[in-house]
Amino acid sequence: MSTSAPTTRMTGIGRVLVIVYAVMALAATGRSFVQIVRRFDEAPLAYSLSALAAVVYILATLALVLARRRGWYTVAWVAIVFELTGVLVVGVLSLVLPELFQHETVWSLFGRGYLFIPLVLPVFGIWWLRTHRPAPVTARAEVTV
């Protein structure tokens, strides 16, 4: 008999959320890799921010998948709030100080190059995390055979 806590499979909107995060992770990783390898010297800030976005999307995807495990729920919160902050800050800066972002990043103009998904996705991520808190850890009962 196993004494480990039961695991809950992610279904419905949670699964869609993870899929979209995974697609964004792949897209941002691919974009940043090409930008850094081919033209890093042209826009190091912009291309570094694309790489940072890729890391955040990878971390958020992993954390959402593992959010039922202790600690990963918090990692998901940190990654998604950081993502939203990044999109808002880079979005505003790319409008107010366009000379900083002569080359687009994943988060430039609030994710315009990605159909504004980078702006909307963390809002859904925060909603999902708020409505799907993991069950509190309870003391394990002694198992007698």
Asked whether residue 86 is domain-assigned, the answer is: yes
Asked whether residue 136 is domain-assigned, the answer is: no
Residue 142 has pLDDT above 70, yes or no: no
**pLDDT at residue number 138:** 63
Q: Averaged over 61-68, what is the pLDDT?
A: 93
- pTM, to two decimals: 0.84
Closest residue by Cα to residue 117 from 48, 37, 47, 60: 60
Tally the C-alpha atoms within 13 A of residue 76's C-alpha that lie toward its C-beta.
29
First to last CA, the chain: 9
The total number of structural domains in the chain stands at 1
Its domain, for residue 90, covers: 13-131
Residues 72-95 as b/e (b if ≥16 CB within 10 A, e otherwise) read bbebbbebbeebbebbeebbeebe
Residue 5 has pLDDT above 50, yes or no: no
Closest residue by Cα to residue 57 from 27, 35, 98, 102: 27
Asked whether residue 20 is domain-assigned, the answer is: yes
Asked whether residue 39 is domain-assigned, the answer is: yes
- The better pLDDT of the pair 75, 2 is held by 75
